[in-house]
Structure formats: C-alpha cells, structure tokens
C-alpha cells in the first residue's frame, strides 16, 4: 500500500487555515482573470492550488462566494494603488488626476491585460443580486465618488457631471484595451481628460 501523503492532503493537514485560503484565492484569481469566471471550474482550482475540495468549501461556501472574494481582492489592490498616488498630490487636483491616468494607462497597456475584472464579471453575471456583481457595482460607484472629489477640488460648476464623464472615459479605456497600443492609452486618457476638464470649467452654473 502506498502511504505517501498527497500534496493536497499534506497542505490541509498543516493546520494553516490562512495559507490554504490564500492559496485557493490566489489560484482562483489568476484563473478567473485569464479564462473568465464561468469557464473555470472548482476542480481546476483545487488541482492547481494543491488543496482538497473540502478545503475550498471550508473557506468559500460556494463558487459565487469565491468569485466575489476574487473581485474584492482586485478591489483592494486597485484602491491601494489609487491611494498611494493620491497621497502624493493632496494639494494639486490637476496633478492627481494626471497621475491617476498615468498609472491606469500603464495598466491598460500591459501585455497580458484582459480588461477590468469588475467589468468582466459584471458582463458575465447580469443578475443584480449576484454577490460578485454587487462587488463590481460598488467598485465603480466608488471610482465615481473619488473622481467627483477631484472634480470638486478643480472647482468646476458641475463636479458630479465631470465625474461621470471621467468615469466613462476610464471604463472605456479598460474595455478598449485589446485594440490600443501599449502606450496609446495614457495619451488618449490624458488628452481626453484635459478636454473634459476644460469644457467643464466653461459650463454655466
């Protein structure tokens, strides 16, 4: 009889629950982003993570919960980047907006970029009650809220309107990533944003 412990069993037996959860989530996140959430099954996730299926369900009650956790992970990483940039330009909203469009444009231009994960998942799950779609919607609402904060600091007459326009511009870049060259997104984002801000200043109150 073969008494050798299988890799998944060995990891499960280690008792390190946080490590197992992190491994499952990291593996699922990579697969979901590359292949789409509907195309990736639980069996593939546990096989590549090297854990037992029972371990996955111990930390994520359903696949939908795992998808929501994937988006929450992406959400936290995105806002960590945003906050880091914002801290550098607290006194200059023009410079802050330009800096955000720089790192977002760089992200869009990455060789293996497959678009915004929140938009991708929202497209795959039209049901408004799906937990992953709710995370995606909250992410986009937060982006618009932050852009409105910048617009208010720019002292435009209608900051909410400018925030909506900038949000549409950024999301459009995410969706258009497959047809843009590696450096084109930054140029288009910045030029378009400048035109929107200029036009916003000229709007009558």
For the domain bounded by 1-60, which CATH number is listed? 1.10.10.60
Domain boundaries, given as residue ranges, for the chain: 1-60, 68-201
Q: Is the Cα torsion angle 18, 21, 25, 31 positive or negative in sign?
A: positive
What's the pLDDT at 205?
63
Q: What is the CA radius of gyration of the chain?
A: 21
| Residue 204 pLDDT grade (very low, low, confident, very high; cuts 50, 70, 90) | low
Three-state SS for the chain is: CCCCCCHHHHHHHCCCHHHHHHHHHHHHHHHHHHHCCCCCCHHHHHHHHCCCHHHHHHHCCCHHHHHHHHHHHHHHHHHHHHHHHHHHCCCCHHHHHHHHHHHHHHHHCCCCCCCCHHHHHHHHCCCCCCHHHHHHHHHHHHHHHHHHHHHHHCCCCCHHHHHHHHHHHHHHHHHCHHHCCCCHHHHHHHHHHHHHHHHHHCCCC
Q: Which residue has the tokens 């929107």?
A: 196
Lowest mean pLDDT among 12-26, 27-41, 177-191: 12-26
Give me the pLDDT at residue 181, please: 81
Question: What kind of fold does domain 68-201 have according to CATH?
Answer: Tetracycline Repressor; domain 2 (1.10.357)
Residue 48 is predicted with a pLDDT of 95
The yes-or-no verdict on residue 52 having pLDDT over 50 is yes
2 pLDDT above the threshold of 70: no
Under a CB-based contact definition with an 8 Å cutoff, are residues 95 and 89 in contact?
yes
Q: Which of 10-24, 126-140, 146-160 has the lowest mean pLDDT?
A: 10-24
Is residue 6's pLDDT more than 50? Answer: no
Average pLDDT (157-166) is 97
Q: What is the pLDDT of residues 162-195, one digit of tens each?
A: 999 999 999 999 999 888 887 899 999 999 999 9
Question: Two tokens at 65?
Answer: 């919960």
Closest listed residue to residue 55, CA positions, set 16, 29, 26 = 16
pLDDT at 8: 47
Q: Report the distance separating Cα 164 and Cα 65, nearest Å.
A: 30
Mean pLDDT to the nearest integer, 28-38? 94
- Whether the predicted pLDDT of 4 surpasses 70: no
Q: Is 80 exceeded by the pLDDT of residue 98?
A: yes
């Amino acid at each position: 009889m073969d008494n050798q412990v299988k890799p998944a069993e060995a990891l499960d037996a280690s008792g390190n629950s946080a490590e197992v959860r992190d491994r499952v989530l990291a593996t699922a996140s990579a697969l979901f982003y590359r292949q789409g959430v509907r195309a990736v099954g639980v069996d593939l996730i546990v096989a590549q993570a090297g854990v037992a299926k029972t371990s996955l369900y111990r930390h994520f009650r359903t696949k939908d919960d795992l998808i929501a956790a994937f988006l929450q992970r992406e959400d936290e990483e995105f806002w960590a980047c945003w906050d880091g940039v914002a801290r550098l330009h607290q006194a200059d909203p023009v410079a802050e907006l330009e800096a955000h469009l720089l790192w977002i444009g760089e992200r869009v231009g990455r060789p293996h970029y497959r678009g915004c994960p929140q938009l991708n998942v929202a497209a795959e799950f039209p049901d408004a009650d799906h937990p992953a779609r709710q995370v995606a919607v909250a992410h986009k609402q937060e982006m618009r809220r932050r852009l409105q904060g910048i617009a208010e600091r720019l002292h435009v007459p209608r900051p909410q309107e400018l925030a909506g326009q900038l949000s549409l511009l950024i999301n459009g870049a995410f969706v258009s990533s497959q047809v843009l060259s590696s450096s084109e997104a930054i140029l288009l984002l910045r030029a378009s944003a400048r035109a929107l801000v200029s036009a916003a200043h000229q709007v009558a109150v």
